[in-house]
Structure 1
Amino acid sequence: MYIDIFVSRPNSVDENQDQTMQRIDELLNTRGLRARTIGKTDFPNVSPMKAVEQLMRQCSGAVILGFPQAVIHEGISKPGTSNEKILKNTLLPTPWNHIEASMAFMLNLPLLVIRDQGIEGGVFDVGTTGNFIHTFQLNTQEWLGKQSFIQPFNEWHREVVENSKVRR
């Protein structure tokens, strides 16, 4: 029997990102975990936010994957303020990463937050959730075998298993 894990990720990914997702799914499966994602594994008949809430309540942990979904080649952040900043080649994740991470946080689900190099802001800012923010090149897969990922993954996995016992 699998322990359900909510995975926040974009539904549209390129071929390399898809291979990374497949490897993450395999890793989860080898640990007795099952990835669940709105629009990939689950297709509810309610509004997206309600669907996320309902699915998360069935899960014992969450993985937030910050894949690049938009690039701002040139722009301005916080225009007209004292914090105005010029943006150049800035990567943005899906806004659903922020929504879903916040919902998982509010439900006290163990969080594993992973971002692509260059993704920043919101849930991907250090200190936002109290969890370490893991940064890797997500269009490759070799990082999945590195100790810098495996050790925190093992810690998160232990939290998920404990949480699944409490939720039963």
Structure 2
Amino acid sequence: MTDIFLSRPTDVPENQQQGLNNLQTLLNFAELNPRTLGSTDYPNESPLNEIIQILQTCSGMLVLGYPKFIVEQGLVKGVKITEPIKLASEWNQIEATLAYSSQMPLLIICDKGVSFGFFDRGAANCFVHEVDFSDPQWCMSVPIQGAIQKWKERIAEYNKRKKNETKHTEESKRKLISLKNDLLEMLEKKVYNKKHNQSVNPNFDYSAANLGSGCVSPLSEFLHRNVETAYEQNMRRSGNKTKNQVLNELNESYPDVYAKLVELFDREGFNKEDFDKCFEI
């Protein structure tokens, strides 16, 4: 079963309840599990926070615009209305906005005459289907059946895209961890410690004696791409990454991380915790 968010009122008029029941049966038959705050899920926090949390586990949203308000007298943009205006719940608008902003597949169905916001044609890049919610068989009509099928196909595509994005994110994190370990190993190769007045190997620039107890000098020179030395040539021939390769990969694939390292290495001192924070993305 695929979780979908069903945006609807907690209670609907008695003459429209059977049509809603039939829709929920149809969704279950299509292996779609409708979730609604106040019906299938109950809040422990503010309603908006709960809605956001539920949406994070859903793959699509079905908005049902039941009329909540009927305005018979008044002005719209300064013009007196000539016929009643049906307005759906404000939560329909909020929930639809959250789904639309996250590019989640959206299906909008409303009762005849419901308008404004997402229920106005052209307000969003999705078609608004208008039906008679008092008809118990409204969800069985050919247009609605076809719309649900198309929406379900879009849900499948959405899930596939999300899965690929998650896979890409995991691979990216693994690569970053590998580069971090490579860089850390290089930093610990040679010792530069003012206390012991040890010399610096110019072929390898600076490194840290013990990142755990804090570096005692700036390491900005370490981030300079040095001319390939005999050491780097041997590293490359043995199949190991060279310092230049690691720095290039960091700068190209993770520019934000590289910028943090540049800033950190210009400081007078830092420790392993500071180093690790640079790699948090």
Instruction: Give the TM-score of the pair, scaled to structure 2.
Output: 0.56
What displacement does 1:91 show?
1.1
Query: Which structure has the greater CA radius of gyration?
Result: 2
Match of 1:19 in 2: 18
Gaps of 5+ in 2: 164-281
Can you list the C-alpha shifts for 1:121-168, whole angstroms capped at 9, x where unaligned?
100011111111000001213232221111121110111122233445
If asked which structure has higher relative contact order (CA below 8 Å, sep 6+), I would say: 1
Render the CA deviation track for 1:50-80: whole Å, top value 9, x for unaligned.
111111111000000001111112222233x
Q: For structure 1, list consecutive stretches of 5 or more residues without a partner in the other structure.
A: none
Q: In 2, Cα distance between the equivalents of 1:141 and 1:166?
A: 36
User: 1:140–1:58: structure 2 CA closer, same or farther, 3 Å change rule?
Assistant: same
1:9 paired residue number: 8
Q: What is the one-letter code of the residue matched to 1:5?
A: I
Q: Return the match for 2:124 from 121, 124, 129.
A: 129
Shift of 1:17: 2.0
- Shift, 1:85, TM fit: 3.6
Partner SS for 1:20: helix
Does 2:61 align with 1:66? no
Offset at 1:87? 5.1
Kept after mapping to 2: 8 A contact 1:75/1:88: no
- Identity, in percent, stands at 36
Query: Is the aligned partner of 1:34 residue 2:23?
Result: no
Runs of at least 4 residues off by over 3 Å: 165-168
The 5 Å alignment of 1:1-168 reads 2-79=1-78, 84-86=79-81, 88-168=83-163
Deviation per CA, 1:21-58: give whole Å up to 9, x if none: 21111111001000000000001211111111111111
* SS of residue matched to 1:88: coil
Does structure 2 retain, via aligned residues, the 8 Å contact 1:3–1:164? no
How many residue pairs align between the two structures?
Answer: 163
Higher strand share: 1
Q: Secondary structure at the match of 1:127?
A: coil
Which whole-Å CA distance do the structure 2 matches of 1:36 and 1:57 have between them? Answer: 12
Q: Secondary structure at the match of 2:94?
A: helix
Query: Distance in 2 between the 1:55 and 1:18 partners?
Result: 24
Q: Distance in 1 between matches of 2:56 and 2:42?
A: 16
Distance in 2, Cα, partners of 1:20 & 1:142: 6
2:67–2:114 CA contact under 8 A, matched in 1: yes
Secondary structure of 2:9's aligned partner: coil
User: Cα offset for 1:11?
Assistant: 1.1
